[in-house]
Structure 1
Amino acid sequence: MRRLVSLLFVSILLCGCYNRGPITPDAWDLTEKQLDSISFYTTHHYTQNYNFVVTGDSLVVVKQQPEDMSVPDVVTFELQSMGEEMKKDSITLRRNEHVVVADIKTVPTDTIDSVWVKVARDQLTFGWVHENELLSKVSPDDPISQFIDYFSDKHLLVFMAFCVLTGAAYGLRRLMRKGCKIVHFNDIASFYPTALCLLIASSAVLYSSIQLFAPETWRHFYYHPSLNPFALPFWLGVFISSVWALIIWSLATVDDVYHRLPLGEAIMYLVGLAAVCAVIYVVFSITTLYYVGYPLLIAYFYFAIKRLKL
């Protein structure tokens, strides 16, 4: 099993596909509109023909041109009188519908949001919407991006942290009362479980550090995700490598535990290990955002290595 895991790890390293990124023509042949599109892409990380999926309950777009919607206050009354007509020209896009960016305009006179985005569901269903409103109700049409979007929700993270800490504390307490083997406390003579916990803690700290110190790099990864560590900036590549390492090391840990304990005890040990890993991820991913995770990680390494039984 260990040889198989090692072979799988080497295969992943050698078989990663290189992502060359967006291909653009020679800069000398670019028109002013193309240059504006590239400039927008570098700051907003998406441009025309980018695909989104609606994640909000609904997204309302209007057929009027942005210039007609973004007018001075002196004509506000006229706009209000046209309200019924404008409502007829609006289109409501529903959750899980797929849209594509058809055009982008900047309207400096708009006091709400100067960037307008034209999205289309199909050839007959399209309209304009403020960028801020659009991005708050859509996600990139990519499963990795949607996974990031789901687990980056602060309310979900707080709720998950409460559930994990409560459930893990209760479960670990019962396991300790029964005298079951538990990582760090009543551990088996194996380095694999401890190394798995340390790897999760380090990955959680790295994940939060990238969001904290390189938010634009993380945002670009959010819009253009890749599981190939060699096609990403250095620290993102290190993080994705740690994710692959977690998968491989988890398989090796399960195999090692089943060889050291009877089936029933092995299952109980792995349940406790999963609870400890969940607590570690939640604690380090949250505390790092407040700079507490760094000294805590050093202290945890010292504790885990000291408690290691070989």
Structure 2
Amino acid sequence: MSMEKVKNSLLCVIVLLLSACYNHGPVSPDAWDLTERQIDSLSFFTTHHYSQNYNFVVKASQMPISDEAGSQAFDTLYVLKGDPLVVADIKTISSDTIDSVWVKVARDQMTQGWIRESEMLPCVSPNDPISQFIDFFSDTHLLLFLALLVVVVVAYGLRRLMRHNARIVHFNDIDSFYPTLLCILIASSATLYASIQMFSPESWRHFYYHPSLNPFSLPWFLALFIASVWAILIVGVATIDDVVHRLEPSEGLLYLCGLAGVCAVDYVLFSITTLYYIGFLFLVVYIIFALWRYFRYSHYRYVCGNCGARMHRKGICPKCGVENV
């Protein structure tokens, strides 16, 4: 093949590469082409985190809705607990001195009406299981009740377990780091959960209305929280598996019950104390305490060369009496 033909072939290849198809992507409508109503809807979504066609579910026993927006209503309907609702329209009434935002919700074609936003939000939850789970654990009265119940029950249970020299995390633990790690993760997650609500409430509110279990689609602090939740689930499964293999069934069940009680105390304690800023100090102290108790009293580094018994440190074996050096 002559050099002229080689040059022509290379030239053809270059031309083909440069003239390849290029996808410009979907053409987005220009912001100036939006109607005033669409702009208002986007502005409302930015500040309120929901908009038209958003789905709620009634969590109150009943919620009244009126046939007309405004203070004068001629007919009132009631939607009941568990009823799904969709936001049909949103209207601002500046003359309303109580709440200028009115929301039209619809259960079906025959059951729809208006209600003030301030009256609606306490009565509904986003129609998403994650949001409803957040709602359940964010209830103040429930949290205070759980705090009292958990402290009383766990204090009594730990006292009984320690009297019988039963296995319990932090105090008479097994040689497994998973239970200690699980407690640290729950304490850290509770602290982070309360911190997000304190320092970035709007981000948490947006997450509440649009939840996701994918940490890669969230801001870094929410991603860290969701990652810690996944870590709790994984470490929890590993803990149960380790306990089943290390303890007898009856002893293992008691240990897991005690571990659940300690985890409940961690969640309640750090969720509440972080709201008063002392939870951060408590968390540091707790992590140091948990690690010290495990590595000092529960973790066995050595094995007796004579009988195979596990030992915390070199020296005389507590089982056979042989000195290990």
TM surpasses 0.5: yes
The one of 110, 122, 125 equivalent to 1:124 is: 110
| Structure 2: runs of 5 or more not aligned | 1-27, 300-325
The one of 39, 43, 52 equivalent to 1:39 is: 43
In the alignment, the residues of structure 2 paired with residue 194 and residue 65 of structure 1 have an alpha-carbon distance, to the nearest angstrom, of 56
Q: Which TM-score applies when normalising by structure 1? A: 0.84
In structure 2, give the amino acid aligned to 1:120.
Answer: A
In the alignment, the residues of structure 2 paired with residue 157 and residue 44 of structure 1 have an alpha-carbon distance, to the nearest angstrom, of 26
The aligned residue for residue 9 of structure 1 is none
In structure 1, give the amino acid aligned to 2:80.
Answer: R
* Aligned positions, number: 269
Q: State the 1:26 CA deviation.
A: 3.9
In the alignment, the residues of structure 2 paired with residue 183 and residue 150 of structure 1 have an alpha-carbon distance, to the nearest angstrom, of 28
The aligned residue for residue 281 of structure 1 is 267
The one of 29, 34, 51 equivalent to 2:33 is: 29
Q: Deviations over 1:62-92 (max 9, x none)?
A: 11243xx3xxxxxxxxx6xxxxxx45x2211
In the alignment, the residues of structure 1 paired with residue 91 and residue 164 of structure 2 have an alpha-carbon distance, to the nearest angstrom, of 65
In the alignment, the residues of structure 1 paired with residue 214 and residue 191 of structure 2 have an alpha-carbon distance, to the nearest angstrom, of 20
Q: Does 1:112 align with 2:94?
A: no
In the alignment, the residues of structure 1 paired with residue 127 and residue 118 of structure 2 have an alpha-carbon distance, to the nearest angstrom, of 18
Residue 69 of structure 2 contacts residue 102 of structure 2 at CA under 8 Å; is this kept in 1?
Answer: no
In the alignment, the residues of structure 1 paired with residue 174 and residue 62 of structure 2 have an alpha-carbon distance, to the nearest angstrom, of 52
Q: State the 1:237 CA deviation.
A: 0.8
Q: State the 1:150 CA deviation.
A: 1.2
Q: Point out 4+ residue stretches in structure 1 off by more than 4 angstroms.
A: none
Q: Deviations over 1:175-234 (max 9, x none)?
A: 100110111111112211111111111111001100111110110011111111111111
The one of 39, 55, 72 equivalent to 1:51 is: 55
In the alignment, the residues of structure 1 paired with residue 157 and residue 30 of structure 2 have an alpha-carbon distance, to the nearest angstrom, of 61
Q: Deviations over 1:32-79 (max 9, x none)?
A: 11011000000000000001111112111111243xx3xxxxxxxxx6
In the alignment, the residues of structure 1 paired with residue 170 and residue 217 of structure 2 have an alpha-carbon distance, to the nearest angstrom, of 37
Residue 69 of structure 2 contacts residue 115 of structure 2 at CA under 8 Å; is this kept in 1?
Answer: no
Say which SS state the counterpart of residue 123 (structure 1) adopts: coil
Aligned positions of 1:157-236 closer than 5 A: 157-236=143-222
Q: State the 1:25 CA deviation.
A: 4.8
In the alignment, the residues of structure 2 paired with residue 133 and residue 223 of structure 1 have an alpha-carbon distance, to the nearest angstrom, of 17
Between structure 1 and structure 2, the one with the greater Rg is 2
Q: Does 1:134 align with 2:120?
A: yes
In the alignment, the residues of structure 1 paired with residue 185 and residue 122 of structure 2 have an alpha-carbon distance, to the nearest angstrom, of 33
Indicate the structure whose relative CO is greater, using CA pairs within 8 Å and at least 6 residues apart: 1
The one of 63, 66, 70 equivalent to 2:67 is: 63
In structure 2, give the amino acid aligned to 1:238.
Answer: L
In the alignment, the residues of structure 1 paired with residue 195 and residue 167 of structure 2 have an alpha-carbon distance, to the nearest angstrom, of 33
Identity of aligned residues (%): 62
In the alignment, the residues of structure 2 paired with residue 25 and residue 93 of structure 1 have an alpha-carbon distance, to the nearest angstrom, of 38
Q: Which TM-score applies when normalising by structure 2? A: 0.80
CA RMSD of aligned residues (A): 1.3
Aligned positions of 1:223-302 closer than 5 A: 223-302=209-288
Residue 66 of structure 2 contacts residue 77 of structure 2 at CA under 8 Å; is this kept in 1?
Answer: yes
